Amino acid sequence: MKLFFPAVLMVLLVGCGTASRTVSLNMGPSGTLILTPRSGGGPVALNGHEFETAMAKLARRVRPSPRPQEAAQRLFDVETRSGSYTYEASSRRLTPLAPGAHLKEQASKAEVELTRDYMHWCERTGRPGDCLRLLTGSRTLDSDGRLALCMALAKASVLDEMSEAFRDMADPQAMAAAVLWTWTTYMVLITVPEPVSKGIAAVMTATLIAYVGIDTFWSLIVGFRHLMDEADRATTFSALREAGERYGQVMGRNAARAFAMVAMAAIGSPAPALAARVPKLPSATLAAAQAETQMGIRLAAVGEVKAAALSAGSLTLTLAPGAVAMTANSQGSRRFSKADRDAAYEKSQDAAGRARCEYCDEELTREPGRSDTYEADHRQPYSKGGPSSGDNLAPSCRTCNREKGAQDLDTDWIPPKNR
């Protein structure tokens, strides 16, 4: 078996199925903050139109490589650790071959038939040829190719959405393959506690947890471990399909869209460039709130995450020196108090007793005794240090709150009533 990942990647998470999670924020000289993620987190909703629009926009800056697997290896800096290994399934041990040595390349009958079935699948789905670019380094599907194919089969509907998003490009299949290989390579890298993922992989990890929640993220890591085993053992296309579809049920459509979107944003980019794109992604406002409750950081701080390590029940994020101000509790709670919300609502009422959105004058409604039934926006963005005090609270309709929060810089946003 020829694998592009190091032997240590088979040392998979042990005990990561525990229901008790902890997040450790390593802030260097400022110490370590340990927190328990708030329950109730889960994948942020991403509708199909938003997803396809975002993917098309992100794709315009990318020139897909004709060898997407190698491009993904370079992105995550795993190319220098590639090589040939023999894998003993019973003992889960990888034995590296001598430098320059390679495994026997003679394809078996089963490998040839599996590859033929893959090509037939591509043709049946309207993408004739090597549609996922799984055969750029081998005449038949190797272990890496089988794993990537499982990932594609896990959420074929999202693959179709990507194809639709890329339809106006010169080579839509090449772009979809780039996303698939980036996604798969990241999952292989992050599934293992050592080595610690750094750079762009660390930024992706923090962003993805913000979008899917830590419990879903953990379930996907555990599920991917089993998927790797199943892909390695599979000798038929139907076995790969069944394994992929089982993993797809664990993932769900919203999580699949989030992973594909973040992979697309990462292609060909250094970590700071990816971090700069994150606030502009669909549903970033909801993801920002989840970043605080699940990891204790602000989404605007995702670029300050320099390393991410997963171990049994624990996620450790190493922040850049001096990044203590980027943690969610560094400026107090994001939530406004009930007294401040009530006072702001009363203050926003006109002579007839109707409360109005500060940004568009839409009438707001409040259920009796429920100050949380309208939006409360930070005039000075919370992500830029704005306090959760009454002086910084703007009663807002949901539309304005979401629109304003989606801006890279809130100062660039012009309220509807001022346009």
Residues 135, 145: contact at Cβ < 8 Å? yes
Rounded to whole angstroms, how far apart are CA atoms 382 and 335? Answer: 10
The three-class DSSP label of residue 1 is: coil
The 3-state DSSP composition of the chain as helix, strand, coil percent (nearest 5) reads: 50, 15, 35
Residues 277, 284: contact at Cβ < 8 Å? no
Rounded to whole angstroms, how far apart are CA atoms 283 and 50? Answer: 9
pLDDT exceeding 70 applies to what percent of the chain?
Answer: 78
- pTM exceeds 0.85, yes or no: no
At 141-161, the pLDDT tens digits run 999 999 999 999 998 999 999
- Quote the pLDDT of residue 9: 35
Question: What does CATH list as the number for 338-418?
Answer: 1.10.30
Tell the burial category of 62 from Cβ atoms under 10 Å away from its Cβ (0-12, 13-18, 19+).
Answer: middle
Q: Which of 229-238, 297-306, 367-376 has the lowest mean pLDDT?
A: 367-376
Mean pLDDT of all residues in 233-244: 95
- Quote the pLDDT of residue 12: 37
**What is the token pair recorded at 353?**
């007793």
At 34-72, the pLDDT tens digits run 888 877 789 999 999 999 999 999 999 999 999 999 999
DSSP string computed for 202-233: HHHHHHHHHHH-HHHHHHHHHHHHHHHHHHHH
Kindly indicate the confidence band of residue 10, based on its pLDDT and cuts at 50, 70 and 90.
Answer: very low
Average pLDDT, the chain: 81
Give me the residue spans of the domains in the chain.
Answer: 2-320, 338-418
- Quote the pLDDT of residue 4: 42
Rounded to whole angstroms, how far apart are CA atoms 170 and 210? Answer: 33
- Residue where the block lists tokens 């555990």: 222
At 166-187, the pLDDT tens digits run 999 989 999 999 999 999 999 9
Kindly indicate the confidence band of residue 386, based on its pLDDT and cuts at 50, 70 and 90.
Answer: low
- Residue where the block lists tokens 């989030």: 258
Checking if the pLDDT of 97 tops 70, the result is: no
- Quote the pLDDT of residue 18: 40
Nearest to 326 by CA among 203, 200, 196, 201: 203
| Cβ-proximal residues to 347 (8 Å cutoff; 6+ apart), any chain | none
- Quote the pLDDT of residue 329: 53
DSSP string computed for 158-194: HHHHHHHHTTTSS-HHHHHHHHHHHHHHHHHHHTSSS
CA atoms in the 13 A half-sphere facing the CB of 52: 16
Q: What amino acid occupies position 126?
A: G
DSSP string computed for 81-148: G-EEEEEETTTTEEEEPPTT-----PPPHHHHHHHHHHHHHHHHTT--SSTT---SS-SS--HHHHHH
Helix (H) or strand (E) holding 274: helix 271-277
Kindly indicate the confidence band of residue 342, based on its pLDDT and cuts at 50, 70 and 90.
Answer: confident
